[in-house]
């Protein structure tokens, strides 16, 4: 039987949904997104005691940023899922069977990315919308309250879905590039969460210039309702973060094509 892109895609689709980890991790990501967003809406207080326990919000908070409080946690879940989808095959040895069935190799990588990206996009966008709607009653009467019809709200919620979908594809690329689940997860966490903190050790002029282009910071601008000083616009943030993902995919493709299993 001839190997075609469509057949490889169907194979990866079936493989993805046959794994219990796919269902569990996707469910955890959406649950965290909704849980943290809803809780943030009901616990927000503009007059919170700065010496008291930390609460969501603070200066510059808005209804969208509260609803998307769980994006960081969800990004870890979908990123790990992407890593497991690719590097997991190296851990189990299943990659040998996969590449024996698809000698050209690269369709395997593209199919994994095409499978996970749209799935995460749809579920994460739905989760962001649900978090916003469920948390909205908790903000009734507050100055920061917003509705879906307000300027930029739908764009920000959809931007969160796009960001999480790109994180999942990023995880796939890192998994193929590094061929180690633990290593790829560590790099993913380091790039998205640790790197911005370490960059604060740079001289101020360097930090202000480079910081907006770090993957995590560029990605967060996709779903920010209010553009903060020095941050990229949503369109520029999408271009930069997608560029990081594309470069990593290119590196994964080069290694997949040029080295043995």
pLDDT digit string, tens, across residues 32-87: 999 999 999 999 877 654 434 445 555 568 899 999 999 999 999 999 999 999 99
pLDDT exceeds cutoff 80 at 260: no
Structure tokens belonging to residue 186: 């560590």
Average pLDDT, the chain: 89
When comparing pLDDT for 5 and 126, which is higher?
126
Domain residue ranges of the chain, discontinuous segments joined by +: 5-258
Comparing C-alpha atoms, which of 32, 30, 27, 62 is closest to residue 44? 62
Give the model's pLDDT for residue 50: 42
Question: DSSP letters of 132-198?
Answer: HHHHGGGGTT-TT---TTSTTHHHHHHHHHHHHHHHHHHHHHHHHHH--HHHHHHHHHIIIIIHHHH
169-205 pLDDT, tens per residue? 999 999 999 999 999 999 999 999 888 888 778 788 8
Q: Which residue has the tokens 């770090």?
A: 214
Q: Which residue has the tokens 């290119």?
A: 250
């Amino acid at each position: 039987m001839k190997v075609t892109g469509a057949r490889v895609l169907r194979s990866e689709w079936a493989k993805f949904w046959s794994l219990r980890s796919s269902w569990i991790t996707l469910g955890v990501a959406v649950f965290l997104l909704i849980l943290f967003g809803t809780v943030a809406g009901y616990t927000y207080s503009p007059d919170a005691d700065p010496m008291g326990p930390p609460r969501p919000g603070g200066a510059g908070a808005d209804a969208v940023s509260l609803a998307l409080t769980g994006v960081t946690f969800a990004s870890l879940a979908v990123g790990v899922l992407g890593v497991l989808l690719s590097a997991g095959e190296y851990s189990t040895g299943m990659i040998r069977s996969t590449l024996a069935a698809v000698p050209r190799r690269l369709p395997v990588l593209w199919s994994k990315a095409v499978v996970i990206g749209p799935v995460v996009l749809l579920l994460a966008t739905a989760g962001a919308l649900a978090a916003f709607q469920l948390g909205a009653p908790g903000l009734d009467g507050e100055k920061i309250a917003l509705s879906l019809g307000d300027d930029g709200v739908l764009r920000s919620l959809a931007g969160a879905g796009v960001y999480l979908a790109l994180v999942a594809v990023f995880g796939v690329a890192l998994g193929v590039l590094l061929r180690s689940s633990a290593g790829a997860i560590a790099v993913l966490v380091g790039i998205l969460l640790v790197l911005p903190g370490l960059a604060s050790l740079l001289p101020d002029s360097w930090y202000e210039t480079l910081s907006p282009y770090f993957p995590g910071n560029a990605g967060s601008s996709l779903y920010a309702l209010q553009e903060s000083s020095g941050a990229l616009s949503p369109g520029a943030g999408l271009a930069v973060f997608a560029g990081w993902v594309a470069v990593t995919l290119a590196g994964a493709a080069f290694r997949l094509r040029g080295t043995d299993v």
